[in-house]
Amino acid sequence: MSVLVFLESADDELSSQALTLARSLGDVRAVTVEGPYAPAGWAAAIVEAAGGDDIVGPGSDRGNEVLAHVAAQLDLPFAANVSEVRGDELTRIRWGGTLLEEAKLHSDRRLVTAAPFAFAPASGGEEVTVLSPFPGNGVEVVDHVAPDTGGKVSLADAKVVVSGGRGVGSAEGFAILEELAALLDAAVGCSRVVTSAGWRPHSDQVGQTGTKVSPDLYIACGISGATQHIAGCKGAKALLAINADREATIFAHADYAVIGDLHEIVPAITAELRKVKGS
Amino acid sequence: MFARRALFLLRLVRAARPLKRTDDVPRRVKNEATIVLGQRKLFQRLVPGLMHALIFWGFLVLFPTILMAGIGAIDRDWSFPWLGSQGWYMAMVDIFILAVLTGIVVAVWIRKIVRPRRFDGSHLGEADLILFMIALVVLTLLGWHASRIAAGLNEWPAHWSFLSNAVSHLVGSGASVRERIFVWAHVVVILTFLCYLPYSKHLHIATAAINVFFSRTRRRGRLEPLRFDLPEAELRFGAGTIRDLTWKEMVDSFSCTECGRCQDVCPAYATGKSLSPKLVIMGIRDQVFAEGPNLLAGGELSPIAGNGVPEDMIWDCVTCGACVHECPVSIEHIDHIVDLRRDLVMMHSSFPTEAESMLRDVERVGNPWGKPQGDRESWAEGLGVRVVAEGEPAPEILYWVGCAAAYDERARVAAESTVKLLQKAGVDFAILGARESCTGDPARRMGNEYVFQAYAEQNVATLNETGVTKIVASCPHCLNSLGNEYPDFGGQYEVMHHTQLLAELLREGKLEPVKSETEITYHDSCYLARHNDVAAEPRELVAAVGKPVEMEKRGKNTFCCGAGGAHMWMEERGSPINEERVRQAAETGAETLAVACPFCTVMLDDGVRTSGKQLRVVDVSTLLLEGVSDT
């Protein structure tokens, strides 16, 4: 049996795992698509290249979307997030890994995506054929426009986020956070209390109902650490918490903690940084 | 005209989507007796209730006089068999003519002098016209009876009719001509009213009794499940157009009298949101009437969301159920709102963007905050709580922790307290640990029925496999899903709230707390008090550890904390509900604000912090533990 595997790119990690799955199913031909992203257009190119072969893709957002279009165009069943394939029976990972589902594909051709990290990455590259997307097919990405951040680092992309909560005390209180952020090339964020009080716009809010951030360093100043807020900053690689209340729940999530008044500590950090940078 | 319109309405209801509401007949009959005949829900407000009851009971008594007049208009000498010659009946007629007139005077006083805000948005002119017509009906009846006595045509002893008899002396000469004029005036007024009726909000006199009969009897917190296993033509994903409405939803909309009681108790409306439950129902009714002919002809229909009901209104609702509890004609507003959400979420993927991560996290990771499933039992570390692994025997009581207590630092305090108390009292209990997942409640209240049902099936499978029969839940929302909604998916358990179990242990003397002098005000969770009738037990606990003081809005009339209906994961538009509730709590002068729901805990604690009030927000179980530990 022969299998066509769709790779997002030759060195993409999830695609390499998909390749492992594909090899276990039969003789592999690998393809990738180059050109503006257009899920239906890419799918059409893959459908043509596949002939009658099985089709495997990576369990990434793009892989799942393109394969879904392939399935729609072929009018065939498609199983996403597969961790094992045995003939037309397969195991799928569902509910965020809490559930393994045994399923059967009612089709002669198998259309599957590999669950992320369910397979070891393939060793040794395959020769990859580059396809061009079929134009005029469904939605096509024309351009990406980043929102105007007024020359500042955007919250979602920032490597460092300096964030303030109720402890900051007022809209003016954010001046010391802005100062520190400028030094660190960081974005300024805030908790929900701050936006509710009207000290900062909602676009600055980090949390469940605001922006989700995943910087290298998240500095939480005067933030108590409600679950709703942690949901927005749990992706941070390191969390530094500054809070006067030693009972604050933010400390349970913090990698580094300073117990004390942020109005003294933040300017002190700024001053120290200036010294270091100045020397 | 009446018949034609009535037929049109009947055809609409017959064209609507099916719904089973014919079980539990004894309780339905009882509702009919108390809510319709006894006017129970109207009497939740004394003066307007009395006003309505006088008019309503009046017309029950006066109903035979309509027949008497109808035939009497044609044949002057005809007398209603037996009843028409009974003096006592005619005395009652006079009494209730007075009663109705009193009712009308009170109604005019309420509408013109008091002018409560609940009438904002109602058709006021229509109401005035209806009152005027009711007055005409009884006045012409009075005139007819009086002139009949004056003309000596009364077949009943005149002295019984104290009022008509007195008025008869004013009739003077030509009484027999006036008798004819009055009886015809009476009949014409009634027939005119009859034609106008089905085009007006006064239609409720025909549909309200039907609506009450078919309203929910038990399990009030349960939403009607959607069935995804039906053939394509019968499938329904909530309510997109009026074609998707169930017949109960349609009769709901016909029954609305625009009295505005729902609007008056709505926490969203009270805090300046766009939602008014009354306007939702009126909007649906207007659209049903406007597009009804199209529906029957199988034509194109426009969406309800954005037309009859603005989208903002649909998302403002916290599903607290205050409107449903209040409605005198048993309209079930939450069903309408959730059906509209279901269509928006499942068919159009259109909902407030900030709720997206909650929906995604519930679907993918099994809790609304996207925390790892493996951390679910970490709150219980070091507490010595048994975790039932697969294949192990079920405990006597399964403690259902819920996502909030498992993951939120403020909410978990209550779980820790409950566990310590259960251990102290020697209760055999255990938790499911990582085998527990979200009940699906926030997804369901948001309108994502798919995700809810998937979780319902998964959780029911786990619980049934384990052989669980009795569950104690710390979260009223979990309690509601487990107890009221899981039976639809094959899960039959005895479900109780931790405050119920703790109250039981208290009564049995297994917990003996010390009473303090602290003034405590208890905030009822909507899903506990209103949807599930648990209001007495938490108060028993509060009374055992301190001095209870009550807020005005309590028990079934409680005021939401702002988190219900998945609002825990949405941004609030307008002034915050939680701060309003904290203001109400602070007014009592209490030092402690006791709660019994993890979401109330978080919301009200936030409210205390932002409003700067001096209140300690704490779960009843923690208060009890403190009381017990003091000994």
User: Which pair of structure tokens corresponds to residue B452?
Assistant: 């809810």
CATH, residue B386: 3.40.50
The nearest alpha carbon in chain B to A206 belongs to B354
Summarize the confidence of residues A73-99 as an average pLDDT: 88
Of A98, A224, A231, the CB nearest to B366: A98
pLDDT of residue A41: 92
H helix runs in B441-587, sequence order: 441-446, 449-466, 476-480, 498-507, 531-532, 536-545, 577-587
Give domain status of residue B94, yes or no: yes
Last residue of a domain, one of B179, B213, B247: B213
Q: What is the distance in angstroms between the Cα of B411 and the nearest Cα belonging to chain A?
A: 10
pLDDT in tens, A48-84: 999 989 999 999 999 999 999 999 999 999 999 999 9
Last residue of a domain, one of B302, B325, B351: B351
Q: Where are the beta strands (DSSP E) in B110-237?
A: none
H helix runs in chain A, sequence order: 13-25, 39-50, 61-74, 175-184, 192-196, 227-233, 250-253, 262-278
B36 and B149 co-located in one domain: yes
Contact between chains at B408 and A231 (C-beta distance less than 8 A): no
Summarize the confidence of residues A268-277 as an average pLDDT: 92
B65 and B139 co-located in one domain: yes
Summarize the confidence of residues A109-137 as an average pLDDT: 86
User: Which pair of structure tokens corresponds to residue B578?
Assistant: 């939680």
Buried b or exposed e, range B316-351, using 16+ CB within 10 angstroms: bbbbbbbbbbbbbbbbbbbbbbbbbbbbbbbeeeeb
Q: Residue B430, Cα to own-chain centre: how many angstroms? A: 35
The stretches in chain B having pLDDT less than 50 are: none
The nearest alpha carbon in chain B to A227 belongs to B408
User: Which pair of structure tokens corresponds to residue B41?
Assistant: 């829900």
User: Which pair of structure tokens corresponds to residue A181?
Assistant: 């952020």
Q: What is the distance in angstroms between the Cα of B571 and the nearest Cα belonging to chain A?
A: 6
Q: Is B458 on the interface with A (CB under 8 A)?
A: yes
Among A residues 17-36, those touching chain B with beta carbons less than 8 Å apart: none
B284 and B336 co-located in one domain: yes
- Confidence check on the interface: ipTM exceeds 0.85, yes or no: no
| pLDDT for residue A27 is more than 80 | yes
pLDDT of residue A149: 61
Q: Is B24 on the interface with A (CB under 8 A)?
A: no
The nearest alpha carbon in chain B to A231 belongs to B369
The amino acid present at A3, given as its one-letter code, is V
| Burial (0-12, 13-18, 19+ Cβ within 10 Å), A138 | middle
Q: Alpha carbon of B70 to those of A35, B149, B164, B394: distances in Å?
A: 84, 18, 19, 71
| pLDDT for residue A147 is more than 70 | no
Of A97, A98, A249, the CB nearest to B409: A249
Chain A / chain B CB contacts < 8 angstroms: 67
B185 and B67 co-located in one domain: yes
Give domain status of residue B220, yes or no: no
pLDDT in tens, A204-228: 999 988 899 999 999 999 999 988 8
pLDDT of residue A150: 64
Contact between chains at A227 and B357 (C-beta distance less than 8 A): no
Q: Is B570 on the interface with A (CB under 8 A)?
A: yes
pLDDT of residue B209: 93
Buried b or exposed e, range B399-435, using 16+ CB within 10 angstroms: bbbbbbbbbbbbbbbbbbbbbbbbeebebebbbbbbb
CATH, residue B46: 1.20.950
Give domain status of residue B12, yes or no: no
B489 and B575 co-located in one domain: no
Tell me which chain B residues have a C-beta less than 8 angstroms from the C-beta of A252.
409
B185 and B61 co-located in one domain: yes
Interface with B, mutate which of A64, A81, A95, A206 (most B CBs under 10 A): A95
pLDDT band, very low/low/confident/very high, at A179 (cuts 50, 70, 90): very high
Contact between chains at A234 and B370 (C-beta distance less than 8 A): yes
pLDDT of residue B113: 92
Q: Is B571 on the interface with A (CB under 8 A)?
A: yes
CB of A243 closer than 8 Å to CB of A167: yes
pLDDT in tens, B38-94: 999 999 999 999 999 999 999 999 999 999 999 989 988 888 888 888 999 999 999
The nearest alpha carbon in chain B to A194 belongs to B610
pLDDT above 90: percentage of residues in chain A: 63
Among A residues 78-117, those touching chain B with beta carbons less than 8 Å apart: 95-99
Give domain status of residue B458, yes or no: yes
Contact between chains at B364 and A197 (C-beta distance less than 8 A): no
Give domain status of residue B481, yes or no: yes
CATH, residue B278: 1.10.1060.10
B265 and B162 co-located in one domain: no
State how many domains chain B has.
4
B287 and B411 co-located in one domain: no
Contact between chains at B569 and A166 (C-beta distance less than 8 A): no
Q: Say which residues have a Cβ less than 8 Å from residue B46's Cβ, sequence separation at least 6.
A: none
Q: Is B600 on the interface with A (CB under 8 A)?
A: no
Q: Is A210 on the interface with B (CB under 8 A)?
A: yes
Q: What is the pTM of this model?
A: 0.82
pLDDT of residue A9: 87
Tell me which chain A residues have a C-beta less than 8 angstroms from the C-beta of B571.
202, 209
Q: Three-class SS of residue B242? A: helix
Of A231, A249, A252, the CB nearest to B369: A231
Q: Is B373 on the interface with A (CB under 8 A)?
A: yes
Phi, psi dihedrals of residue B121, rounded to the nearest 5°: 95, -10
| Domain extent for B609 | 510-629
pLDDT of residue B501: 97
Q: Is B462 on the interface with A (CB under 8 A)?
A: no
B149 and B77 co-located in one domain: yes
DSSP A155: T
Count of residues for chain B?
Answer: 631
d(CA B10, CA B403): 46
Tell me which chain B residues have a C-beta less than 8 angstroms from the C-beta of A227.
369, 404, 407-411, 602
Q: Which domains does chain A have, with CATH numbers?
A: 2-131 (3.40.50.620), 160-278 (3.40.50.1220)
Phi/psi zone of residue B528: left (φ > 0), alpha (ψ -120 to 50 degrees), beta? alpha
pLDDT of residue B365: 87
Tell me which chain B residues have a C-beta less than 8 angstroms from the C-beta of A193.
606, 609-610
B205 and B61 co-located in one domain: yes
pLDDT of residue A100: 85
Phi, psi dihedrals of residue B619, rounded to the nearest 5°: -70, 145
Contact between chains at A208 and B369 (C-beta distance less than 8 A): yes
Give domain status of residue B15, yes or no: no
CA terminus-to-terminus distance, chain B = 76
Q: Is A231 on the interface with B (CB under 8 A)?
A: yes
CB of A197 closer than 8 Å to CB of A174: no
d(CA B533, CA B377): 30
Last residue of a domain, one of B504, B519, B549: B504
B268 and B346 co-located in one domain: yes
Give domain status of residue B267, yes or no: yes
Contact between chains at A193 and B609 (C-beta distance less than 8 A): yes
d(CA B396, CA B57): 52
B27 and B143 co-located in one domain: yes
d(CA B264, CA B206): 25
Give domain status of residue B183, yes or no: yes
